[in-house]
Amino acid sequence: MIRLENVYKTYPDGTEAVKDLNLEISKGEFCVFLGPSGCGKTTSMKMINRLISLTSGKIYVDDKDIMSFNPNELRRNIGYAIQNIGLFPHLTVWENIATVPMLKKWSKQKQLDRAEELLELVGMDPSVFMYRYPSELSGGQQQRVGVARSLGADPDILLMDEPFGAIDPITRSKLQDEFLKIQAKIKKTIAFVTHDIEEAIKMGDKIALMKAGRLVQYDDPATLLTYPKDEFVRNFVGADRVLKGLRLYKAKDVMKEPPVTVKIDEDPARVKKRMEESNTKWSMVTDEKDRFIGWIASDDIKGSKSIKEIYKPPTVTAGPDTPLNEALSMMINSTIGTLAILDEDGKMLGVLSFDIIRDMLGQEESEQQKETKASGEKS
Amino acid sequence: MWQEAWQYFLKNTDKILKWTVQHIYIIIVANVCAVIIGVTVGIFISGKGRERIAEMVIYFASIMMTIPSLALYGILMGILASLSLPSIGFLPVVIALTLYGLLPIIRNTYTAIREVDPDMIEAGRGMGMGETQILLKIKLPLAVPVIMAGMRQAIVMNIGIAAIGSYIGAGGLGQPIFRGIANYRTDLIAVGAVCVSLLAIIVDVVMGRLEWLTTPKGVRIRLRRKS
C-alpha cells in the first residue's frame, strides 16, 4: 500500500512540480500516473522511493513513513524500472537481474536461482539467456530483462517509469499483455507512469490524471472515460473516449441472445415465416451439434432450396473475451453488421450488433446526464 | 653510418641493455605515480557540482604539457635543490614524467566517467546502490578501457621525453644520443634513436592489447557491432 498525504514538491528555482497531492494505492493495485509532459507524474512517482525529496507532506509505504528508512534500504525494497531500461552493459543478464539480491548480499546460488526464476516469468529461456550480455538482446528482450530486474528481490511495490515507452508499437502491445498476465500472478502494488492514454486504460486498475502538478481525477478507467470531471479530462481522454471505453468491456458482458436461430435441417418456409414474424433480416444457422456455421438472409429463402444450400458461412466470429473495440471493428468490416460470439468449441453464446452496443452506451450516457443534471441542481 | 651503428650495437649489448632497463624503470615509476594521482583526481573532479574545478584542473594539466621538457627539468632542479632533495638524476625526471602523464589520464578518467549513460546510473540509484557502489560497480568498470587508453598515450609520449632525462643524469636510452651529439658520433645517435622508437612501438602494441583485455566483455560485443 502506498499513501501520499498533502505532498508538495517545489524546486529551488520556485517551480512547483507537485501541489497538494493526496492519493492512496491499495495493496495489489495497478495505479497509472497519467498526464501531459511536465504535469508532475514522474516527480510524484520518484518521490515514493526518495529519488526526489519531498518539500512537504508525507508518503507512507505499508503505513510506514518513507522518511524513517535509509534511502538505499528503502529503494532495495521497491522495484524500479525505467523507460530506457538502463541495463548494465558490462554485466550478464543474470547479473543484471540479481542486482538487488547482490546488494542485499544473498548467496550466489540464491541469486542464480532467482535470476532463473524471473527469466522464466518474463518468458525468456534461462538456458539461452542467463549468460548473455544486454548488447546481444533485442529491444523487447532488454525490456523484459529490465522488468525481471525490477522484480529482483521480490519487492511488494513496483515503480515503473514509462517502461514500455521506447519500443515499437507491436512489441509494446505484446509486452503490455504479458505484463498484465504476470501482474495477475504476482499482484504487486504498482505505480506506473505514462503519457499514453491507451496504455493507461489498458493497464491501470486506477488512473491518476495530473495537470500542472495537481491531481485532477483519480478513478478507474471506465469512470474516467464515462464521467470526465472537467473540460481538461474530457480533452485529454479525447473525443473518441466512447470508443476507447469500449476496450474495457468484453463481448460476453454485452452480448444478447440471438432473436432467431435456425437449425440446418429446418424447413425453409417455416424459417421464413418465423423471421418475418420477428422482423429479422439475418438469422444464425447452427448444425446438429448446436455449432454455429453461418448466416441466412430471409430474402434468400425462395422456392424449395434447403437451408443447407443457401446459408452463408461467417467471415468473422469473436470469442467471449474479445474486447468490444475489436468486436466493433470486426462488425464494421463484415457485411452483416452482426457478430456471432462463439465459445472454443464453436457453440453459439450470443450476438452483438450495432444496436446492442448503442443501447449499452446510451444507458451510460443517460445515467451520466442524470448525474450532471443532479449535481448542477445541487450547486 | 648504419654499419657502424650495428657494430656498436653488437659490441655494447650489455650497456644498451642497462640503459633500456633504466629507461623502462623510470617510465614505470613515473606512470604508476601518474595513474594513481590522475585517476584519483579524475574521479574526484567528475563528481556532481565539480564542473568548475574540473575545468580548472584540466586547464592546468594542459598548460603543464606545453612546458618544454628541458625547461621543466630545470625548474624542478631548482625546486628540489631548495628542498635539499637530489636535484639531478632519477628524481626530477620521474617527477617531470609524472606531471606530463597526468593530462591524458585525468582527462580520460573524467570524460569516461562523465559519459557513463545517465540511465544506468539512475537505474542503479533507483535500485538502492550508494554512490560508492555506483562508482565501483558501474562507472569504473565502464571507464577502465578509456582510462587505459589515456595511460597508453601517456606512456608512449613519456618514453620520448625520458630520453631527454639523460641530460640531467638519469641514464636511460638518452645516454648514447647525448654522447653521440657531444662526440660527433652519428652511429651512437642512431642506436639511441632506434632503441627509443622500438621501445615506444612495442609498449604501444602491448598497451593496446591491455586496453582490449580490460574492456568488459559485454561492451566488447557492442564495440565490435559498431565497427
The string of pLDDT tens digits covering residues B22-75 is 999 999 999 999 999 999 999 999 988 888 999 999 999 999 889 998 899 999
Contact B122 A82 (CB under 8 A): yes
The CA distance from A361 to A359, in Å, is 5
Q: Do A135 and B221 touch (CB under 8 A)?
A: yes
Task: Enumerate the domain spans of chain B.
Answer: 2-226
- Partners of A7 in the beta sheet? A21
Instruction: Say yes or no: B198 contacts chain A, CB-CB below 8 A.
Output: no
Q: Parallel, antiparallel, or unpaired: how do β-strands A30-34 and A206-211 relate?
A: parallel
Nearest to B120 among A80, A86, A103 (CB): A86
Residue of chain A whose Cα is closest to the Cα of B131: A72
Neighbours of B30 (CB within 10 A): 26
Q: Which residues of A touch B138 (CB under 8 A)?
A: 88
**Closest residue on chain A to B221 (Cα):** A135
Residues facing residue A4 across a β-bridge: A23, A59
Residues in CB range of A343: below 8 A, 6 or more apart = A319, A320, A349
CB contact, 8 Å: B49 with chain A?
Answer: no
Query: Chain-centre distance of CA A8, in angstroms?
Result: 29
Using an 8 Å Cβ cutoff, are B193 and B201 in contact? no
C-alpha B11/C-alpha B1 separation (Å) is 15
Cell output for A8: 508538495
Q: Do A99 and B219 touch (CB under 8 A)?
A: no
Inter-residue long-range contacts of A360-363, CB under 8 Å, 24+ positions, other chains counted: A360/A249, A360/A254, A361/A242
Search chain A and give the residue with CA nearest B120.
A86
Contact A73 B128 (CB under 8 A): yes
Gap between the Cα atoms of B129 and A91, Å rounded: 15
What is the least distance, in Å, from the CA of A70 to any CA of chain B? 10
pLDDT on residue A86: 85
**Residue A8 to residue B34: CA distance in whole angstroms:** 48
H-state helical runs in chain B: 2-11, 13-45, 51-66, 69-82, 90-114, 118-126, 131-133, 140-164, 174-182, 186-214, 217-226
Pick from A84, A100, A135: CB nearest B218? A135
Ramachandran angles phi, psi of A207, nearest 5°: -120, 130
How far apart (Å, rounded) are the C-alpha atoms in residues A170 and A161?
19
CATH for A252-358 (3.10.580.10, 3.40.50.1220, 3.30.300.30, 3.40.50.300): 3.10.580.10
Chain B positions in Cβ-Cβ contact with residue A75 (cut-off 8 Å): 125-128
Task: List for chain A the helix, strand, coil content (%; round to 5).
Answer: 40, 25, 35
How would you write the pLDDT of chain A (379 residues) with one tens digit per residue?
899 999 999 999 988 899 999 999 999 999 999 998 889 899 999 999 999 999 999 999 999 999 999 999 999 999 999 888 889 999 999 999 999 999 999 999 999 999 999 999 998 999 999 999 999 998 889 999 999 999 999 999 999 999 888 788 888 888 898 999 999 999 999 999 998 888 998 899 999 999 999 999 999 988 888 888 888 888 888 767 777 777 778 888 888 887 778 888 878 878 888 888 877 778 888 888 778 888 888 777 777 777 777 888 887 888 888 888 888 888 887 777 788 888 888 888 888 888 888 887 777 666 656 655 555 444 4
Measure the N-to-C terminal CA separation of chain A; round to a whole number of Å.
Answer: 35
Contacts of A150 in chain B (CB under 8 A): 127
Is the Cβ of B120 closer than 8 Å to some Cβ of chain A? yes
Give the model confidence (pLDDT) of B160-194 as tens digits: 999 998 888 888 899 899 999 999 888 889 989 99
Q: Angle at which helices B69-82 and B90-114 pack, to 10 degrees? A: 110
Q: Is the ipTM of this complex over 0.85?
A: no
What is the predicted pLDDT for the residue at B104?
93
B222 touches chain A (CB under 8 A): yes
The domain defined by B2-226 folds into MetI-like fold (1.10.3720)
CA neighbor of A326 nearest in space, from A240, A234, A208, A246: A246
Minimum-distance CB partner of A76 among B123, B128, B221: B128
> With an 8 Å Cβ cutoff, are B221 and A133 in contact?
yes
Q: Does B136 touch chain A (CB under 8 A)?
A: no
CA distance A163 to chain B (A): 12
In 3D space, the residue among B218, B12, B206 whose CA is nearest the CA of residue B120 turns out to be B218
Residue spans in chain A of domains classed CATH 3.10.580.10: 252-358
User: What pLDDT digit, counting tens, does each position of B103-115 carry?
Assistant: 999 999 999 999 9
CATH superfamily of A2-247: P-loop containing nucleotide triphosphate hydrolases (3.40.50.300)
Test B124 with A88 for CB contact under 8 angstroms. yes
Separation between Cα atoms, residue B75 and residue B96, nearest integer Å? 10
Is there a contact between A159 and B126 if contact means CB atoms under 8 Å apart? yes
List the single residue in A86, A87, A133 with the smallest CB-CB distance to B122: A86
Answer yes or no: are the C-beta atoms of B204 and B149 closer than 8 Å: no
> B124 and chain A: CB distance < 8 Å anywhere?
yes
Q: How many CB atoms lie within 10 A of CB B1?
A: 10
Beta-carbon separation of B126 and A92 below 8 A: no
Asked if residues A268 and A312 have their Cβ atoms less than 8 Å apart, the reply is: no
CATH 3.40.50.300 residue spans of chain A? 2-247
**Chain B residues whose beta carbon lies within 8 Å of the beta carbon of residue A159:** 126
First to last CA, chain B: 45
Our CA dihedral for B195, B198, B199, B200, rounded to 10 degrees, sits at 120
Dig out the grid coordinates for A229 from the structure: 470531471
CB contact under 8 A, B216 and A90: yes
Closest-CA distance of chain B to residue A43, Å: 13
Rounded Cα gap, residues B178 and B164, in angstroms: 9
Chain B environment of A51 (Cβ under 8 Å): 122, 125-126
CB contact under 8 Å between A51 and B117, yes or no, is no
Cα A184 to Cα A190: distance, rounded to the nearest angstrom: 12
| Shortest Cα distance, chain B CAs vs residue A89, angstroms | 5
